Amino acid sequence: MKTVEFTICLAGNLHNSSEKKCYNVREDEPQKDQYAKSKIQKYEALTFTDDFIFCKVLQSDPQLCADLAGLLLDRKINWISGPDSQKSIQITADSKGVRFDVSLEDETAVYDLEMQKELRPVFPKRSRYYQGIMDLQQLEPGDPYSKLKDSVVIFICMEDPFGKGFFRYSFQNTCDEDPELKLNDGTHIVFINACGHRTNTSPQMKSFLDYLFGKLSDDELVQRLNNSVIEARKNAKWRAEYMTLEMKLQEAEERGREYEHEAMLSSLGLSKDDYEKIQQGKMTLTLSPSELQVGGQNT
């Protein structure tokens, strides 16, 4: 079995080493069938923290959605519109679109609830962009700014987004010179930390945070959420929708991997025919670090 010998670039950094590393092309290439089996989660195994179920459960029961938002914000929400699930918004044809997980509205504010199983460093600026889009959706040309309702973005995070241990991080715009002076522009960003300390939480909030990790309780809201999840798993229409969506996402990822593979061959000066010859053991390629080119530039 022949190998291709070259030095790998990871995250843009070349491992400058006199020792060459050998990788078998066939062994390193992902198997499509294995990828498909491992990537698509069984619909019956989805939980409330999975984005698809999260959206369907809250969309199908507006009062449940309002009660959950009220718990997370420690306020009463009397919803008058929504919730809209996976609401896609694009202001102009060439602008970046936004897809809200679940959005709803009451007399004083519009709310966006987002489930996040993994930490992403762009959270703060993402929330800023979301709030700007939410504002644009509220006003028609000529409307006064006073018509703007408060905008509230809520991220439910399965990991601590800021590492301080709080179960809830609440942000508003304040004055740098006087932190007690608030701008009162009506923007609110809240991060719920499922891993946060439980010492200062209400029993209901504690039960909800525990539920995010699969622990059931006799709490009324948790019971309603869990019963809705069970019913969602039985919904044949939603199951078909989920499988179709996941297959489309997998196909898109597969196309992305193929593009990356072609780019790697191009950076090594290889054609597809060369790659096939390497797989068949008819060709061996050896590159030193000084000869390796990535993206058309010497690295």
Distances (CA, A) of 182 to 71, 175, 292: 24, 6, 55
Is the entire prediction scored with pTM above 0.75?
A: no
152, 157, 187: which is closest to 54 by C-alpha?
157
Is 54 found in the same domain as 23?
no
Is 136 found in the same domain as 120?
yes
Domain that holds residue 283: 4-40+262-298
Is 34 found in the same domain as 62?
no
% of the chain surpassing 90 pLDDT: 43
Per the structure block, which two tokens stand in for 108? 């004083």
With bands split at pLDDT 50, 70 and 90, how would you rate the model's confidence at 2? Answer: very low
pLDDT at 67 over 90: yes
> What's the average model confidence in pLDDT over 10-38?
41
* Between 168 and 295, residue with greater pLDDT: 168
Is 133 found in the same domain as 9?
no
Is 54 found in the same domain as 11?
no
Would you state the pLDDT for residue 127? 84
Last residue of a domain, one of 155, 184, 213: 213
Question: Cβ contacts of residue 291 below 8 Å, gap of 6+?
Answer: none
What is the Rg, in whole angstroms, of the alpha carbon atoms belonging to the chain? 25
pLDDT at 293 over 90: no
pLDDT at 92 over 90: no
Last residue of a domain, one of 180, 213, 246: 213
Residue 231 lies in a domain: no
Residue 99 lies in a domain: yes
Distances (CA, A) of 262 to 253, 257, 273, 287: 14, 9, 12, 18
Structural domain tally of the chain? 2
Q: Using CB atoms within 10 A of its CB, is residue 176 exposed (0-12), middle (13-18) or buried (19+)?
A: exposed
Is 78 found in the same domain as 32?
no
Residue 240 lies in a domain: no
Question: Out of 59-63, 213-217, 255-259, which region has the weakest mean confidence (pLDDT)?
Answer: 255-259
Token match 């010497």: residue?
298
Is 150 found in the same domain as 266?
no
Which CATH number belongs to the domain containing residue 55 in this structure?
A: 3.40.1350
* Between 53 and 292, residue with greater pLDDT: 53
Residue 242 lies in a domain: no
Is 69 found in the same domain as 13?
no
Is 81 found in the same domain as 198?
yes
Distance CA 188, CA 155 (A): 11
Question: Out of 111-115, 168-172, 283-287, which region has the weakest mean confidence (pLDDT)?
Answer: 283-287
Would you state the pLDDT for residue 189? 94
Question: Cβ contacts of residue 181 below 8 Å, gap of 6+?
Answer: 174, 175
Token match 């948790």: residue?
222
Distances (CA, A) of 89 to 86, 142, 152: 10, 21, 17
Last residue of a domain, one of 213, 247, 281: 213
Residue 236 lies in a domain: no
When the pLDDT of each residue in the chain is averaged and rounded to a whole number, the result is: 76
